[in-house]
């Protein structure tokens, strides 16, 4: 069985000609004709107009990703200022824990959001799902921006706050898989790694922007002002930004692959698109592969981007004011390296970068985190943090694309989103808790070992279970068909559509 699963294969006579199905209906092709069509489309280079559309759609798709992650991270960044407005003022420590519970709730809802939006995107289009996702995120931020405190509406303030976090977690769960699918599909074949890397450019950018907003407001407003009303400003900015992205997304194009699936697939297969039944029975192998290749990457990502600040504050001798600046500088470098690594993957292949991350993470997690625990110099701390992030960029820059290349279009958004959400919720999202718990029980070595083992497990997957480096993928076949049909004169006018390769034999 292939990694794509046991897809339903229509019966064709080898070498038979395409069978017309009536006016305006799709034209079936034999497997041999499908291969020739895909090869012809793949051989042609994208036109300047197609490249321009790829750039425009990538920017519109990734802009929403930026705002969604900004909205997520400002909650964590400003929780110390609004905690007393909604939680028990008599116990500051407990109120902070209650605030972090609101952050954890977003991870609880991600698998649910990935299922809903994955199904929605595979059935109704990527654009529709991304538009709905950003709308819900805007609503969640607006609720937090105007929500009265506990002194005004009592316990309902806490209930509504948690509900808004559940809503945002639901939205974010759908954003990852759908945006990963969309950006992979609209990218030109020769620059697919480069364009797809902007998902993590904007993901990290959301965290950088949230941290920058915190630094600016801390220098503009007094501590009393931030506690009283200043913490509402970033949520207002997030809601306004989401509305701007909503306007942008209304004008972005649907991906070619989804158009072809909708036009060329049997009604029975359209009904199966985006269903858990199809995912678990026909594509369980790529789903499992998605979870396992995400395991080490999400653990490394949350270790070096989220938990690292708390880790440094607890074990190093560097003042907290300086660790925030160090974290910001390292994250900014990390963000800038994403497209560089994505472009490199277009040259040397995706697998090579993943293996480099796996080897680097397995060998150097202990030296980096172990040394960071005793460092006194801010410059040395920055170099160590940057080293961990440089290693991790081998995963983050192309992870979404690698997952998208495992699934056909009719199940891609659900497969990518759900596989990521499972690994992210179980392993990546729990890193701050696991790290804090082990550190408080003098088990720092155990935590570093845990991170190392997770990366090593994924390294085994990269080496032995991923397709060969630079091998042909489902996306190559689909985009080949899309380009071939797009360039065939009169095809759209006559209503004759070419079937995508998922209906043939892989």
Left, alpha or beta for 454 (phi > 0: left; psi -120 to 50: alpha)? alpha
More confident residue, 75 or 332: 332
Q: Where do the structural domains in the chain lie, given as residue ranges?
A: 45-489
The residues near 440 (Cβ < 8 Å, ≥ 6 apart) are none
Q: How many CB atoms lie within 10 A of CB 355?
A: 17
Separation of alpha carbons 173 and 328, rounded Å: 25
| Residue closest to 73 by CA, chosen among 174, 203, 246, 240 | 203
pLDDT, mean of residues 378-392: 96
For 164-273, list the strands marked E by DSSP. none
Q: What confidence tier does 495 reach under pLDDT thresholds 50, 70, 90?
A: very low
Q: What is the mean pLDDT of the chain?
A: 82
What is the per-residue burial (b if ≥16 Cβ within 10 Å, else e) of 317-338? ebeeeebbebbbebbebbbebb
Contact 165, 103 (CB under 8 A): yes
Provide mean pLDDT across the span 394-419.
93
Residues above pLDDT 90, as percent of the chain: 43
* Confidence band of 32 (pLDDT split at 50, 70, 90): low
Lowest mean pLDDT across 28-32, 126-130, 214-218, 246-250? 28-32
pLDDT digits (tens, 9 = 90+) for 61-91: 888 889 988 988 888 888 878 888 888 777 7
Is the predicted pLDDT of residue 257 greater than 80, yes or no? no
Query: For residue 7, is pLDDT > 50?
Result: no
Which residues, including other chains, have CB under 8 Å from residue 134's CB and lie 6 or more apart?
Answer: 64, 67, 68, 171, 175, 242, 245, 246, 249
Question: Which letter does DSSP use for residue 17 in this model?
Answer: P
Q: CA–CA separation, 365 vs 370, rounded Å?
A: 8
**Correct CATH for 45-489 of 1.20.1250.20, 1.10.340.30, 3.30.70.640, 3.40.630.40:** 1.20.1250.20
Tokens matching residue 87: 């939680």
What would the pLDDT profile of 191-223 be if each residue is shown by its tens digit? 899 999 999 999 999 989 998 998 899 889 998
Closest CA to 192 of 36, 21, 405, 360: 405
Greatest alpha-carbon span in the chain = 78
Q: What is the DSSP string of 455-480?
A: HHHHHHHHHHTSPPTT---HHHHHHH
* Spatial distance between the Cα atoms of 168 and 374, rounded to a whole number of angstroms: 38
Q: What is the DSSP letter of 150?
A: H
DSSP 76-136: HHHHHHHHHHHS-TT-HHHHHHHHHHHHHHHHHHHHHHHHHHHHHHHHH-HHHHHHHHHHH
In angstroms, the CA 221 to CA 181 distance is: 41
Confidence class for position 44, pLDDT limits 50, 70, 90: low
Residue 277, token pair as written in the block: 């039944």
Contact 179, 199 (CB under 8 A): yes
Which DSSP letter does residue 191 get? G
Statement: residue 376 has pLDDT above 50:
yes
Kind plus residue range of the DSSP H or E element containing 86: helix 48-86
> Which string of DSSP letters, residue by residue, matches 356-376?
HHHHHHHHHHHHHHHHHTT--
């Amino acid at each position: 069985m292939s990694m794509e699963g046991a897809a339903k294969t229509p019966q064709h006579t080898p070498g038979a000609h395409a069978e017309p199905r009536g006016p305006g209906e799709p034209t079936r092709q034999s497997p041999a004709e499908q291969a020739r069509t895909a090869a012809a489309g793949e051989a042609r280079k994208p036109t300047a107009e197609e490249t321009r559309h790829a750039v425009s759609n990538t920017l519109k798709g990734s802009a929403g990703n930026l705002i969604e992650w900004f909205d997520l991270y400002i909650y964590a960044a400003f929780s110390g200022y609004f905690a007393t407005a909604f939680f028990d003022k008599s116990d500051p420590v407990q109120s902070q824990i209650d605030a972090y519970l609101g952050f954890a709730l977003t991870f609880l809802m991600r698998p649910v959001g990935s299922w809903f939006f994955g199904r929605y995107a595979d059935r109704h289009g990527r654009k529709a799902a991304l538009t709905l996702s950003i709308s819900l995120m805007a609503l969640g931020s607006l609720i937090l921006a105007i929500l009265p405190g506990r002194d005004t509406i009592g316990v309902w303030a806490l209930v509504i706050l948690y509900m808004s976090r559940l809503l945002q977690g639901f939205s974010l769960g759908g954003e990852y898989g759908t945006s990963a699918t969309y950006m992979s599909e609209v990218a030109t074949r020769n620059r697919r790694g480069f364009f797809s890397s902007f998902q993590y450019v904007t993901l990290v950018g959301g965290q950088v922007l949230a941290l920058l907003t915190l630094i600016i407001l801390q220098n503009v407003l007094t501590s009393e002002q931030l506690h009283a009303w200043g913490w509402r400003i970033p949520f207002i900015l997030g809601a306004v930004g989401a509305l701007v992205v909503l306007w942008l997304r209304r004008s972005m194009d649907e991906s070619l692959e989804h158009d072809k699936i909708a036009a060329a697939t049997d009604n029975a297969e359209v009904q199966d698109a985006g269903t858990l039944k199809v995912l678990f029975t026909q594509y369980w192998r790529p789903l499992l592969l998605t979870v396992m290749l995400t395991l080490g990457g999400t653990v490394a990502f949350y270790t070096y981007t989220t938990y690292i600040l708390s880790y440094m504050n607890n074990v190093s001798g560097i003042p907290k004011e300086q660790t925030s600046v160090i974290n910001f500088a390292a994250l900014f470098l990390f963000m800038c390296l994403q497209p560089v690594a994505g472009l490199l993957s277009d040259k040397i292949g995706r697998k090579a970068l993943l293996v480099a991350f796996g080897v680097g993470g397995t060998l150097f997690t202990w030296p980096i985190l172990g040394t960071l625990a005793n460092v006194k110099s801010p410059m040395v701390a920055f170099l160590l943090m940057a080293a961990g992030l440089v290693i991790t960029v081998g995963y983050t820059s192309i992870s979404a694309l690698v997952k998208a290349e495992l699934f056909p279009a009719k199940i891609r958004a659900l497969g990518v989103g759900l596989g990521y959400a499972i690994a992210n919720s179980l392993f990546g999202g729990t890193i701050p808790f696991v790290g804090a718990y082990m550190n408080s029980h003098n088990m720092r070595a155990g935590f570093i070992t845990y991170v190392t083992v997770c990366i090593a497990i994924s390294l085994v997957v990269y080496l032995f279970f991923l397709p060969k480096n630079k091998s042909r993928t489902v996306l190559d076949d689909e985009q080949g068909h899309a380009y071939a049909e797009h360039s065939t004169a009169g095809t759209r006018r006559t209503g004759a559509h070419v079937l995508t390769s998922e209906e043939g034999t892989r």
